Amino acid sequence: MAIEVAKVELKNVQDASGLEAAIAKGQFRADEVIAVIGKTEGNGGVNDFTRILADQAFRRTFLKLGSRSEAAVAQIPMVWSGGCDGVITPHATVFARNAKTGPAPKSRLAIGTAMSAELLPEDIGRPAMVEKVAAGVRAAMRDAGIEDSADVHYVQTKTPLLTVDSVAEAHARGKEVACEVHESMGVSNGTTGLGIAVALNEIRMPKAEEICHNLDLYSSVASCSSGVELTQAQIVLLGNRQGAGGRYRIGHAVMKDALDIDAIYDAIRNAGLDLPERPRAEDLKGRVVNCFMKCEADRTGKLRGRRQIMLDDSDVPWHRHAKAAVGGVAAAALGDPAVFVSVDAMHQGPQGGGPCIAIIDAGE
């Protein structure tokens, strides 16, 4: 069985026509889809319901065009990141598993998925969440058939965040939460990043007081999002496995800051594509399927020694500034504005930077 990958554009918040077109032309069948990672055009905040609308549209398509039950379709991992600031185009990357290309002796893209144990409101921002996420990541590695953590290049997650109702429910059980509702997106993402790093042996198990504070602890392959639509960590793990079949490979690098265009090309090289010393978008020759990046505003308020104002802007939230900036850099590097850029990168790459992952078409 081999992995097939397709990037499809979203023409509106409930559009699944690109998915339907890929199925219609035989790229994969509806029942073969195993995961979706996408960008929607909402505000990217706690109340961004475009994520739910896109999720519903894609699941309706799988029910309409496939034979899986509603319960089975509900279990397909779909990670939707809200906010297409700047030039970013709403889109989804669809992953399917089929036998079209057959087995191959070379190392190719493999995918594993898992759901963690239930994450309680009081777990968010605490060691219990780190441990539950780490256990889920290890399960996803087993599902992918990947034994060596060095072969893992991308772990995309979706985890719960706090709402007024979930905080009240925790209080009713006599529990206290670790942060406020509007802080919980970043805290949930950061704690999840630590869980990924622990599972992949990138760091030791952090102390409680280090969570969301010691920013020297991070994962180089984590991309964590959160939302109101689930109560577990939804995990999609991607890496390369010998004999996996298919034509795709994955690689990663780490952006040191928002302008680190070289890291994007380094991730593409790491995936296996030969590039000149100073690449341009034209050198990619259409073989990059997509790049996935995490970013955030540098807490020092500086970028390469220059003063930045995104953390001081009362009109536009910093995460919209950062997403637009990195999206522009990535779009220029790839020659394609349909790039996956997500914010709240705490414990995901170094402070002010973030992981960059590339999937390429390596050929037959």
DSSP string, 188-226: HHHHHHHHHHHHTTSSPPPPGGGTTT-TT--BSSEEEEE
Query: Which among 264, 321, 253, 310 has a CA at the least distance from the CA of 291?
Result: 264
148: which DSSP letter? Answer: -
Place of tokens 């087995």: 103
Number of DSSP helices (H) and strands (E) in the chain, helices first: 8, 14
Total Cβ atoms within 10 A of residue 86: 18
Q: List the beta bridge partners of residue 132.
A: none
Return the active site residues: 158, 225
Report how far apart, in Å, the C-alpha atoms of 260 and of each of 253, 265, 277, 356 are: 11, 10, 15, 10
Classify the C-alpha dihedral 327-186-315-92 as positive or negative: positive
- Concatenated DSSP letters of 298-343: -TTSEETTEE--TTT-SSS-HHHHHHHHHHHHHHHHHT-S--EEE-
Whole-angstrom Cα distance, residue 231 to residue 257?
A: 32
Calpha distance 112→302 (Å, rounded): 38
